[in-house]
Structure 1
Amino acid sequence: MSPTTSGRLGAGDAAPDFTLTSDAGEQVTLSELRGRKVIVYFYPAAMTPGCTKQACDFSDSLDALSSTGFEVLGVSKDKQAKLAKFRERDNLTLTLLSDESLEAHQAFGAYGEKSLYGKVVQGVIRSTFVIDEQGTVELAQYNVKATGHVAKLRRDLGLDGGPE
């Protein structure tokens, strides 16, 4: 299945496949993670306050998410070198992926029109997707807030509220 006419994915859609370069310079292909549950989140820019908060929250929750079978992938349009600096600067433990072409962003409906300070602009739509072991979207969340999102996601998944 492809995104709906709005360009957005919903529960039951097949997750679009991608191969992206990680902060460590390795190729990561979504379909190669079949058999595992995957959380893919798209964020606007590494090393900005909101994106740092969100990445640190995911990193702080990674052990709890991993213990319940989840792999977490953070995707931005940043270059691989900037993602490596982001990981090092903030001691991040999750995998960060570079999508400079925005192909994965667009396939997931995580790039397009959004409101920024009252203006309509084209840009990254902060979004999170939970993908099951067969590669099907279980949960698609668009326009999520950077702060508090991971705790809410954990509650939505029936896990605890996350670290305080």
Structure 2
Amino acid sequence: MSERVVLAAGQTAPDFNLLDQSGTTVSLSEFRGQRVILFVYPAAMTPGCTTEACDFRDSLAPLQAAGYQVLGVSPDAPEKQQRFAERDGLTYPLLSDPDHQLLQAYGAYGEKSMYGKTTVGVIRSTFVIDENGTIEHALYNVKATGHVARVRKLLGV
């Protein structure tokens, strides 16, 4: 496996073109002029990912009022993302990255340790991207529970 990329504040966020839960192509460049919170989760409809996604849903109004667009991304197919959005009332785009292109470009796919075993998979991460497409914060190996509250505190929202 190739060396994992790790993004840091000040770097240009890699652009992407991915399908969302409704089959619409979404690219980072279409959000120029807006701030973006891009959160990466391993699998739709699993307990931790549901907690994190619902926390973003519950914080959406204050985040949007502060100028942030929330985007979620996982390797799940658009159809599964659609079921996840419908089941949990998620009203922001859930992007499908089955080939791990975005995940690898953002350093959110690679070796991780789970229960003492090293595996390869999605690394739960969150990226805050400014109006010009520059990384403001790159948060890797985050915990699902309480993460959104920490992001809001970091951003003063």
Fold in common (TM above 0.5): yes
Alignment of 1:148-163 (within 5 A): 148-159=146-157
- State the secondary structure of the residue aligned to 1:78: coil
Match of 1:59 in 2: 57
**TM-score (norm. length: structure 2):** 0.97
**CA contact under 8 A between 2:35 and 2:131: conserved in structure 1?**
yes
Alignment of 1:6-155 (within 5 A): 7-155=5-153
Distance (whole Å) between structure 1 residues aligned to residue 156 and residue 63 of structure 2: 11
**TM-score (norm. length: structure 1):** 0.93
| TM-fit CA distance, 1:6 | 5.2
| TM-fit CA distance, 1:39 | 0.5
- State the secondary structure of the residue aligned to 2:59: helix
- In structure 2, give the amino acid aligned to 1:98: S
**CA contact under 8 A between 1:14 and 1:135: conserved in structure 2?**
yes
- In structure 2, give the amino acid aligned to 1:27: T
Moved over 4 A (4+): none
Distance (whole Å) between structure 2 residues aligned to residue 60 and residue 46 of structure 1: 17
| TM-fit CA distance, 1:96 | 0.3
- State the secondary structure of the residue aligned to 1:139: strand
Q: Given the superposition, is the C-alpha separation of residues 6 and 100 from structure 1 closer, same or farther in structure 2, using an over 3 Å criterion?
A: closer
Distance (whole Å) between structure 2 residues aligned to residue 52 and residue 6 of structure 1: 26
**CA contact under 8 A between 2:127 and 2:139: conserved in structure 1?**
yes
Distance (whole Å) between structure 1 residues aligned to residue 73 and residue 12 of structure 2: 18
- State the secondary structure of the residue aligned to 1:71: strand
- In structure 2, give the amino acid aligned to 1:20: L
Partner deviation per Cα, 1:92-118 (whole Å, 9 max, x = no partner): 112100000000000000000000111
**CA contact under 8 A between 1:58 and 1:94: conserved in structure 2?**
no
| TM-fit CA distance, 1:50 | 0.1
RMSD: 0.8
Percent of aligned pairs with the same residue?
60
Distance (whole Å) between structure 2 residues aligned to residue 89 and residue 137 of structure 1: 31
Give the unaligned 5+ runs of structure 1.
160-164
